[in-house]
């Protein structure tokens, strides 16, 4: 079983092991975990066989958005990433198209529940939770719906410490900790009813919405206003092999590793150097997975520099001005090839590098899930969207944005409330893109402890200022916000308490002082289970990940509050102020093959994953038919698959431009109707005599679940 049994931050819990069958073989998993996670832990990569070329298909989003994890579960085609595992289930690979079950019996009527509230909050991530709290404070009756078994959204996948400020967004705490804080606060409000494992299924013109509660009961809810905080879905890229099993969205990888504690991979490569890609590499290392490298087509890292520096120090190479050429393998990812690009972003094939990997993570951005907001506005609802559904940004910004969204809706519903103008300013700062990179300051070594701040880029972060007991760390007054760079005020003594080292989300602070002769002492942060002991020599690097020397471990301390190890080392005085981190993985592990091994046929890249329509097929159709209406692509099945065109639609602008057609002159495709998989027995009422009893029982069960 590929399970994570040791982790520096997460503690594997106790689970009930149950048996189920997969393709007729008895296997085991954890009760109530997603079936997809149980199978990946068992070593399964392919979940279905597509009728086009008998191509194996694996998961991509692990979030119920793309349908590529569909399996035949107890005779029905279901998304395995959102279907909980039960004892005795019969699970089978989906081969081509599923058959309709042979069932001529009368549908079992469960009954439809009637609910009402002032505000419906669709999504229990950071913005939905903070919006609900602000509305609850004002006395509104709220129903909060989330499709997972725990509240927190993406916070539940984030084991790293947050940037921002401690005062405004819990900076220095980890996403998993913030989720617990917000869920605990939500539980204190009796006017918030929470329905987990539940989805908003539809919004109707008569000022109602349909809810699928506990994946079993259908409910109709009357409400006056809606907060759409449904988050975002993964973007894909077009390249040969982009639909092989083992090509994941970065969020899917984090879901498997950090939420479900499944060791889904041994060797991963990441495309995209935004914060999501950088963090995914870090999460891989913490899970004991080799992070082979990161590639980005841009000439600079698009995420925070301290994030990039952190993983480079640990031994993860970053390839800028590179693009993905291919992913290849026998039915699954076994190797990938990247190459440098020229000034027009065209690949330079003579620079190709091939890496042996089993997983390729796509971290090239997200697309807002805001369809319900558009529908609500069209039907005349009071509606506000928040978090990634409104604008893709950091979760710290989403929490603040949720508070503002809640008060905006309160005003729309007639409450006389004022939104503090400073909130808007703080929200803007928290979602700021990385700013200017300044020159690394030269720090002199003394016989007193001094903090060394390896933080040279303007980003929204200041927890080191807040935790310093002597006020020795301050912000420069250049921008007048937490975007300013921190510096050490040498008029105050450093107490070597280690709080700044432990709290820093970028692991970008060390403490150093002279010892004797040519030796010095350095204290470094470490968020891994130490694989070394006192008196052992370990490899140390500078900010950019360049090896400097091997330092002797003098002491290993653990800061319980921030779950960070503080490693005291004896090093040369010459390098003391340059040393910034500990190398975690060796260079030999991440080198490419001596000679690249690949076949490059770019038009074989898949545009529509559900229907397996290639780039070449789409380009040919557009050119031969003079297509200027995206709806016409449906003739070749583009956008007609089970995901409802959510995955391929965001790729079409680039495809049309590649065909020589200005995307802005193309008529947009008609949006597919929103769809949530709901069994017919949840909404039909053939068994009229049982209707009243069914409604009563369903209502009582749902109300009980909401209180929980």
Nearest C-alpha neighbor of 528 from the set 2, 10, 1: 10
Neighbours of 415 (CB within 10 A): 13
pLDDT digits (tens, 9 = 90+) for 575-596: 999 999 999 999 999 999 999 9
Q: What are the sequence ranges of the domains in the chain?
A: 17-99+236-364, 112-232+367-430, 450-590, 601-665
- In this prediction, residue 693 carries a pLDDT of 39
- In this prediction, residue 704 carries a pLDDT of 53
Q: What is the pTM of this model?
A: 0.93
Neighbours of 95 (CB within 10 A): 12
Beta-bridge mates of residue 486: 475
Neighbours of 92 (CB within 10 A): 15
Neighbours of 690 (CB within 10 A): 15
Query: 17-99+236-364 belongs to which CATH class?
Result: alpha beta
pLDDT digits (tens, 9 = 90+) for 108-154: 656 778 999 999 999 999 999 999 999 999 999 999 999 999 999 99
Nearest C-alpha neighbor of 71 from the set 115, 112, 39, 30: 39
pLDDT digits (tens, 9 = 90+) for 267-321: 999 999 999 999 999 999 999 999 999 999 999 999 999 999 999 999 999 999 9
Query: 246 to each of 59, 253, 540, how far by Cα in Å?
Result: 8, 10, 33
- In this prediction, residue 314 carries a pLDDT of 96
Instruction: Name the DSSP letter for residue 255.
Output: I
pLDDT digits (tens, 9 = 90+) for 540-549: 999 999 999 9
What would the CATH number be for the domain defined by 112-232+367-430?
3.50.50.60
Q: What angle do CA 63, 66, 67 make, to 5 degrees?
A: 95
- In this prediction, residue 207 carries a pLDDT of 86
Helix, strand and coil in the chain, % to nearest 5: 25, 25, 45
Task: Look over the chain and give the mean of its residue pLDDT values, rounded to a whole number.
Answer: 92
Contact yes or no for 386/227 (Cβ under 8 A): yes
Q: Which parts of the chain sit beneath pLDDT 70?
A: 103-110, 675, 684-708
Joined together, the tokens standing for residue 263 give 């060791």
Query: 557 to each of 44, 142, 208, 530, 622, how far by Cα in Å?
Result: 40, 45, 56, 11, 63
Fold match between 17-99+236-364 and 112-232+367-430? yes
């Amino acid at each position: 079983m590929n399970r994570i049994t040791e982790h520096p931050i997460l503690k594997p819990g106790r689970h009930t092991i149950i048996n189920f069958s997969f393709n007729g073989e008895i296997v085991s998993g954890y009760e109530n975990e997603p079936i997809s996670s149980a199978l990946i832990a068992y070593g399964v990569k392919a979940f279905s066989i597509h009728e086009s070329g008998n191509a194996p298909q694996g998961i991509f989003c692990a979030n119920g958005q793309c349908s590529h994890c569909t399996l035949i579960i107890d005779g029905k085609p279901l998304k395995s990433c959102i279907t909980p595992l039960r004892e005795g289930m019969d699970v089978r690979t989906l081969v081509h198209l599923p058959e309709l079950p042979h069932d001529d019996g009368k549908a079992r009527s469960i009954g439809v529940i009637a609910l009402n509230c002032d505000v419906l909050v669709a999504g229990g991530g950071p913005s939905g939770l903070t919006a609900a709290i602000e509305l609850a404070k004002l006395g509104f009756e709220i129903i909060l719906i989330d499709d997972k078994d725990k509240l927190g959204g993406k916070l539940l996948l984030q084991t790293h410490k947050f940037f921002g400020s401690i005062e405004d967004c819990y900076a220095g705490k980890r996403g998993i900790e913030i989720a617990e804080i917000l869920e605990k606060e939500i539980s204190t409000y009796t006017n918030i009813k929470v329905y987990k494992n539940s989805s908003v299924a539809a919004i109707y013109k008569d000022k109602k919405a349909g809810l699928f509660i506990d994946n079993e009961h259908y409910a109709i809810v009357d409400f006056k206003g809606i907060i759409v905080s449904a988050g975002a879905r993964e973007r894909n890229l077009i390249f040969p092999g982009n639909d092989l099993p083992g090509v994941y969205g970065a969020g899917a990888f984090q879901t498997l590793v950090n939420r479900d504690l499944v060791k889904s991979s041994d060797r991963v490569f990441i495309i995209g150097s935004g914060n999501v890609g950088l963090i995914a590499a870090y999460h891989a290392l913490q899970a004991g997975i080799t992070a082979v490298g990161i590639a980005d087509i841009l000439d600079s890292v698009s995420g925070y520099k301290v994030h990039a520096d952190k993983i480079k120090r640990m031994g993860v190479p970053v390839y800028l001005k590179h693009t993905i050429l291919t992913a290849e393998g026998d039915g699954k990812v076994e190797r990938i090839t990247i190459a440098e690009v020229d000034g027009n972003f065209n690949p330079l094939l003579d620079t190709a590098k091939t890496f042996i990997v089993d997983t390729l993570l796509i971290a090239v951005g997200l697309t807002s899930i805001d369809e319900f907001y558009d529908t609500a506005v069209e039907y005349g609802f009071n509606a506000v969207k928040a978090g990634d559904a409104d604008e893709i940004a950091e979760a710290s910004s989403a929490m603040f944005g949720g508070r503002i969204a809640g008060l905006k809706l309160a005003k729309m519903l007639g409450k006389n409330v004022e939104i503090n103008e400073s909130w808007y300013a703080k929200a803007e700062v928290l979602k700021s893109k990385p700013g200017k990179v300044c020159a690394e300051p030269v720090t002199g070594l003394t016989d007193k402890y001094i903090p060394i701040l390896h933080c040279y880029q303007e980003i929204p972060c200041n927890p080191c200022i807040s935790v310093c007991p002597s006020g020795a760390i301050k912000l420069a007054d250049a921008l007048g916000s937490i975007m300013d760079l921190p510096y050490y005020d040498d008029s105050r003594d450093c107490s070597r308490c280690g709080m700044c080292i432990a709290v820093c989300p970028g692991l970008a602070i060390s403490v150093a002082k002279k010892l004797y002769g040519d030796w010095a002492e350095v204290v470094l942060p470490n968020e891994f289970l130490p694989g070394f002991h006192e008196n052992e020599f370990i490899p140390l690097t500078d900010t950019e990940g360049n090896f400097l020397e091997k330092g002797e471990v003098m002491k290993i301390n653990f800061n319980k509050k921030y779950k960070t190890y503080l490693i005291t080392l004896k090093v040369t005085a010459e390098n003391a102020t340059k040393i910034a981190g500990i190398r975690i993985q060796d260079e030999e592990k991440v080198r490419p093959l001596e000679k690249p091994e690949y076949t490059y046929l770019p038009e074989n890249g898949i545009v529509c994953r559900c229907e397996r329509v290639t780039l070449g097929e789409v380009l040919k159709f557009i050119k031969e038919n003079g297509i200027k209406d995206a709806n016409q692509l449906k003739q070749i099945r583009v956008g007609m698959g089970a995901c409802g065109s959510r995955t391929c639609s965001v790729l079409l602008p680039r495809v049309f431009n590649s065909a020589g057609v200005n995307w802005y002159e193309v008529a947009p495709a008609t949006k597919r109707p929103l769809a949530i998989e709901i069994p017919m027995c949840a909404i039909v009422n053939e068994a009229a005599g049982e209707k009243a009893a069914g409604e009563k029982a369903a209502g009582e069960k749902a109300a009980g679940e909401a209180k929980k």
